[in-house]
Structure 1
């Protein structure tokens, strides 16, 4: 294999990916900051935030999954210089995202009573409920933001979302600093301060994104001629045909990780807190693969529009290779740093919480070793999935996700976590199995589809 045909694509891949990665790291930093600042209040507070965010993460996965339909459609229209096609996709996409955000908030707000039946520690449940109400409302602006983001990504303007999320994090950190412990005339609000910090910062984020895109000389044309009367059923159907299966796929994946929160909560609050620490660290490294996944969506979507399927395959494989290199580095990082990283989240100096924090530290360290093992599978399944979305292939990946995560991964997590002495480590071993099966099946799907397109294109010529 001549690796140079792939490595020479690295520069373009990185140019597109790095703003997306930085933006996603910033997105992840919102919950990371919450967990670090709240974690110093105690294991109960950290577990409560973890439990509440588990519901929000599931809903957000649906919103993000749906919004990914916008990127390949915009990229395909842009490659053909189809201004009207780009505008229609953008307008319809943002309206659909705003509607979906409102629906997701309503489902969580009116359905949060389910938290009482999940066998979680009672003190954690009572603290989680009010936090959940506020953070759930932030789904409306954050899913709207995704609509704007996926549009700008599809147009290869990947830096705007990065800047928006940087501003979001600055606002979020400052509000947390003021409201969690109290400052000047602001009251001490504890975990609720973190909830308001998340909501306000996400509103700022979507407002900033709208203003910046509208004022861009190249993109401003797509903000014109908007009218609810011009909404077309055919465009709505096209976005939904791609968005709904993508939502299901992402729901199946994120729900598997959220199930780990619930399963660890059933084992104990220390296990739940440790799971949240490890999950935050793994989520941070996953943002690199996720950024490359969107890069694959953009570049594969462009080449699909141009019908250059041989180059499409080369571009996709170059992204797969780049992701593999990064994930090997992250796996080694977790292995060598597993005895250090959990300290970031825990106050080991406070005598009153030393015993439980020591236990949380030990569990989190073990989880990071398991996390190192599935870095490769997690990264590969993410970037291959992005390439398949660029090909607008979304139904089969949704089925693959269900089989890999819920027929294979979840039962292993339940058995090893609840019925053996492995506990939280057993839960994460199940996650590893699910991700590995998904990576293999998705790659085989991509290989089959690209070979089919190349063969058909050759015969046409």
Structure 2
């Protein structure tokens, strides 16, 4: 076996050891929203459109809150590497990072819940169907309280990932899928002793599941002899310098995630102007894209943690190889997904639509063809964001997304959607253009960043 191939396989095994449980955890988490989407579809096209609108708003704010604490994993990974090297202050640094992340999560969760309610009242002014908006409001009201435990969960998750002990995440998240499905059904239909809430029952189920999974992950970490001494809840003891550092790193990440989520949110609003069937088709295919995207998130987090660790150990070559390894994984997985989308679209879409809804189903089938290509770039740009986070270059990632999404993607979506008559398909082609531009710019910036840090020539991707 050639040395380069042997090295790639060895790097792949090392990356996969962290990426696989993270990707499976992400997939399990998205199965929660997929279950919600399927349940909405069973209630009818209007319920799917209203629930999809509520989920877009919730995911926008949740994603930005998650961004605030995402850098915690990188910082803990670097501190963990120092602890292994014998640094006496490293463990206290880890405790303080945990405290600061929990404090940020609390503040972001409260602010996000308030904004969620306010946006729910304002969105009707953005061209959405008033009946759809009225149906979405109760779902938003019941989802809003779940944002705080959702972000607490993310803080503890970043702690366990940074310590390279993510295994409990998968078990807890898989269990939450069954819990979410059961609560959805019970609260929609009034099964057993639960009230019959209809569509709003999905919002209450979501908040309940977030609270229970947060508690389960916390208790699991408390039982881990390596994690328990480092899991500090004394947020009032947070060092101001640690909080400022996390804010400095986390704010651009939140803005980056918000930029991406906001881009997708605006795209959903543009699609909504074409009617209920268009929004339902967009919601279904977007959920499929979001589902597969979680594989990219797992690869991105694993590569990001790896870069932080390798740079702390001053191994430039290993840090640089992580980009190639992560992208190789991504291309292999996305090729399989594209094959499924193009050869069996009706089977893929069957859980979201009843057989009589031809308009939405036919449109969703066309969107799947765009999604088959789009997901290569969506995966690559997410890996690029993670690689830059490993370099602590969080501001650079944000600036790139502004260019890719808003200066290229949104104008392209508006032009192709409204000026050409391609409508929803044209908007998705604009979405593809924005993601492709973002991916190229992010990966090029990572190569240049590594080159600047170590004085080596910039590699062209």
Aligned residues of 1:320 and 1:384 also touching (Cα < 8 A): no
Give the corresponding residue for 1:192: 200
Residues 356-405 of structure 1 deviation map (CA, whole Å, 9 limit, x = unaligned): x1111001000010001112111111112111111111111100001100
> For 1:104, which of 112, 119, 122 is the aligned residue?
112
Q: TM-score, normalised by structure 1?
A: 0.94
Q: What number of residue pairs does the alignment pair up?
A: 449
Give the corresponding residue for 1:390: 390
Once residues 229 and 18 of structure 1 are traced to their aligned partners in structure 2, the CA distance between those partners, rounded to angstroms, is: 35
Aligned residues of 1:39 and 1:45 also touching (Cα < 8 A): yes
> For 2:27, which of 25, 33, 42 is the aligned residue?
25
Alignment of 1:152-231 (within 5 A): 152-224=160-232, 226-231=233-238
Aligned residues of 2:100 and 2:235 also touching (Cα < 8 A): no
Q: CA RMSD in A?
A: 1.6
Once residues 183 and 166 of structure 2 are traced to their aligned partners in structure 1, the CA distance between those partners, rounded to angstroms, is: 27
Once residues 15 and 204 of structure 1 are traced to their aligned partners in structure 2, the CA distance between those partners, rounded to angstroms, is: 27
* Deviation of 1:209 (Å): 0.9
> For 1:151, which of 159, 172, 177 is the aligned residue?
159
Establish whether residue 68 from structure 1 lines up as the match of residue 76 from structure 2: no
Give the corresponding residue for 1:332: 339
* C-alpha spacing 1:227/1:444, structure 2 compared with 1 (3 Å): same
Q: TM-score, normalised by structure 2?
A: 0.94
Give the corresponding residue for 1:269: 276
For structure 1, the 5+ residue unaligned runs are 349-353
Secondary structure of the corresponding residue to residue 346 of structure 2:
coil
Secondary structure of the corresponding residue to residue 159 of structure 2:
helix
Aligned residues of 2:99 and 2:235 also touching (Cα < 8 A): no
Residues 216-250 of structure 1 deviation map (CA, whole Å, 9 limit, x = unaligned): 100111135x5344221110111011100001111
Secondary structure of the corresponding residue to residue 351 of structure 2:
helix
Alignment of 1:215-294 (within 5 A): 215-224=223-232, 226-294=233-301
Once residues 195 and 142 of structure 1 are traced to their aligned partners in structure 2, the CA distance between those partners, rounded to angstroms, is: 13
Aligned residues of 1:271 and 1:424 also touching (Cα < 8 A): yes
Residues 389-427 of structure 1 deviation map (CA, whole Å, 9 limit, x = unaligned): 111111111000011001110111122223332111111
Once residues 4 and 428 of structure 1 are traced to their aligned partners in structure 2, the CA distance between those partners, rounded to angstroms, is: 40
Give the corresponding residue for 1:351: none
* C-alpha spacing 1:111/1:343, structure 2 compared with 1 (3 Å): closer
Aligned residues of 1:38 and 1:190 also touching (Cα < 8 A): no
Give the corresponding residue for 1:308: 315
Please, which moves more after superposition, 111-120 or 133-142? 111-120
Once residues 131 and 186 of structure 2 are traced to their aligned partners in structure 1, the CA distance between those partners, rounded to angstroms, is: 25
> For 2:80, which of 78, 81, 97 is the aligned residue?
78
* Deviation of 1:9 (Å): 1.3
